[in-house]
A and B are shown apart, each in its own frame.
Chain A
């Protein structure tokens, strides 16, 4: 311990005297500046419509219309106020309440949407429903990542688990003509990838990042090979799975905005709700979660009290793979309808980003994945209404946000202490 302290001291001497963080006011000053330039300087003086209702709602909400220029002015002033206010509070050594940045972010988002879609109408329920659909594989992947890393095994192989799940669910779903069989097989496939990760990382003590990277290549090559050899030759026999259809939940799906977004989805999405809730609860409230976190934080201590570190890691990494595999099934069974080469298109890496941005917490990682899904769907929605922002920059957003997050600019993110370290008894 002292060794580390000294070396840290040598590294950055004297930089930790002032513990106040000025990140929040600086960030909001920046947001305010951008909104001033974009939303006022480049505003189109036209109203932006926000259509809040769908046809099946229990009661209809009116369409909201915001004048683009005036909204820009309001947002700029509000974010500037937040910047000044939080700067004042920090200078007084008072904690800034958490709801302030959240309110500010919502304002900035509304300002952005109003500006980007000026003179058009945004269909809000579709925007969020589409975001959820894009986020589902990310959430599955992120949950897999969280479980795996919390138990002490770095999971770079989320992409491989998603891809394996996507491939197997397409094949099994077609052969058995049952989406449930496809879903189950996807979980098994994700688990098999995890076994591979576990065998090399836990048994043979190979560096976990290396194994993860290599497994990604391996599964990409393997599924690509089998796809070209088998699936391309007879697509109707092997790559034509029956997807899950939408199952609206009675009454709940009629609630305006929330209903069409959350309760008019396929069974996999409802399964996702259950899994997120179960993992979030079990991680902190059950013996399983306690053991898992103990093994990930301090395997030696866990071993001392009689927890079998190797076995705990092995089965939890398998569980993580199974969950990530379900995300892969969602891609083929609900999103694309069939398997294609590298159909996951880097979703596993965005899920990894969500794990880190969500600071290794199931709920926060889920929210991060939802945010990333929202960003990519926003790009889709804005390209339809004709947005002034190039779509590439919207697509870049999750990655830039993650870099900012790991660089500690939005708060310190600390991985589980023993994540990435193999454990050898004795």
Chain B
């Protein structure tokens, strides 16, 4: 179970501590640069860069397979990779539909949380009183583990509704988007402020032509951070009841019925889903960061 729980922990840490998120968000450029174009000098180091993790992965899987096949480790403790792949193939339609259900919940939550986060941050930047009101609420939101709300929201919205999961994903997404957007709308350069004053621009024109474009890379950094949180929250929320069929509920049922290779198969599907969210939002962030040097 090490992989999903590790992902969960790191995700919770990201969302739990706004500082770490904000620190990441503080330099959207550096993030893009890290993931970005090959470093000038060495094709050699680039090859190493790509090959090394692949080699490590192959070695780990090989050792895992050998260990599982040797009879030293019980199959229910650690199913072999071959068995897991077999289950993924056998249950492919279910894997895909489960990813679809959880993915849709995460996506709806991410979009809702993002829209709310951006609007609230803009309001907070314009109206000091909103800033004062939201600061403690966001601080509170950022320190509580959002999924802890799952049982409560399940009761509120009914056990047959996906909405409680979407709401949890939205709440989890809201925090990093809000924090990063608020930072972003405060990054306007003094020279741009002077320029807009010279042009006698209205507050709306200033927001549209300077403030929001300046904030855009920060917003997308927030969305990138929120994307993983949205998937994790939507998935974990399924552990607390509600409609079946999502990845979280299928991991739980498979494990409960001792179908460990299948449970691991759904875990692999969750990882793929999380990666897909991350890569898409990373791509958006990179596109938004272009030309903002």
The answer to whether A and B interact is no
